Copies of this chain bind each other. A is one copy, B any other.
Amino acid sequence: MPVNNISSKEWLRKPRILCGLMTGTSLDGVDTAIVKFHTDKNGKHKFSLIAKETYSLPGEINILMNKILSEQSSISDASSLNFILSEIYADCINKLCNSSAFSINDIDAVGMHGQTVWHNPFKSLIGKYRVASTLQLGSVSALSQIINKTVVGDFRSADIALGGLGAPLVPIFDYEFLSDEKESRIILNIGGIANITLLPKNCRKEKVIAFDTGPGNVLINFAANKYFDIKYDKNGNIARSGKRISEFFNFLSRIPFMTKQPPKSTGRELFNHELIAPYLSKYNKYPENILRTLTDFTSWSIAENIRLYAEPKSIIIASGGGTENIFLLEQLKKELGGTKILMSDNFVIPTDAKEAICFAYLAYRTLGGMTSNLPSVTGASHEAKLGVIAFP
């Protein structure tokens, strides 16, 4: 039954089932999750995961996306992709329901992140206008009509409009479901970029800090692909067989971003091929050494940020594709001495479904009339209800 313009109070009164959809900038697939949320009598949110799956994006979408991200594209391509993505997302929801034998009728609403095609949280001069902006494709309105469900999307614009970075948005989820009264925790996500949410024990929402630590998979995957023609270094085995190149490692560890005070965020505009090209050509005789160095640097950069900015004696709860790199995690453990590293699976959050669950949760909050951005994290002037809502 689609939820039809009920009040936010009424929305929170009953358990609700949401489908979350996440497509990252790496275009590696659509993460989907069906999640049941409810608000207990103390106002505390609870969730249980019903189903999750990652669906690959059709190759044509990659081509169209790359066309749009280049300067060669027209606005009609963007408009078309906006609607095509809604069709694809609808297909994913249907597939997930079919494969998990879950009735689509029981879904109350959808939280759709959409595909980021532009994200610039810093005011730049466009003519006489100083403007920051973000743009996710995937039409909220079209998806709502196609699947006949309430859909919430465009989660980042409100925070940007309030002067924030528009990211990260996951910290409210970390705070609600992973913070603890007696234990300081670091929530680590290793995607293309790695980021952490710091949750000191018994911390208030206003005190949550979260930021990017530097590369996650991005440099490792790039080198694995370039030298070994593989998508990623499975279990980190190639890196394990190599030796660290000190000169290269030192260069990387001295990048000012690495130890910069948070809040900070980064992306492929810094951690890309150009950054490491001189060292790649110098040391490409032993590519396993390059992989080793990049893996060491990645684990070091996460560890260094934790040493600098996290509460001592915090435990780490890790998620994201990068957690499959066993050697990377081993190196991280070595760097941090006795720090306990748990997988988010231990908290009933599959490492590969966390973001999809999170955007289902953000939709749950918005429909409940709740704010979701954390100004202490994003730098926005105040909290805001994130996203736009379409009713079928």
Contacts and interface: CB of A to CB of B under 8 A. Distances in A.
A161 B135 contact: no
Given A8-B5, A83-B131, A127-B60, A388 B385 contact: no
A156 B83 CA distance: 12
Contact of A161 (B5, B86, B154, B385): B86
Contacts of A235: none
Given A7-B5, A79-B133, A160-B142, A389 B389 contact: yes
A269 interface: no
Interface stretch (A19-27, A37-45, A64-72, A198-206): A64-72
B389 A126 contact: no
A151 to B, nearest CB: 9
Interface in A55-80: 58, 60, 63-64, 68-69, 71, 73-80
B154 A141 contact: yes
Interface in A354-391: 366-369, 384-391
19 contacts: A6-B7, A7-B7, A58-B128, A75-B135, A79-B118, A79-B133, A80-B133, A83-B160, A140-B388, A141-B386, A141-B387, A142-B157, A144-B158, A145-B157, A145-B158, A385-B390, A385-B391, A387-B390, A389-B390
Given A145-B162, A145-B384, 12 more contacts: A60-B128, A76-B133, A79-B118, A80-B129, A80-B131, A81-B126, A82-B133, A83-B157, A83-B161, A141-B161, A141-B388, A146-B161
Interface of A: 4-8, 10-11, 58, 60, 63-64, 68-69, 71, 73-84, 86-87, 117-118, 120, 124, 126-129, 131-135, 139-142, 144-146, 154, 157-158, 160-162, 366-369, 384-392
Closest 10 CB pairs of A and B: A5-B8, A141-B157, A142-B161, A79-B135, A60-B127, A388-B388, A79-B118, A145-B161, A83-B133, A5-B369
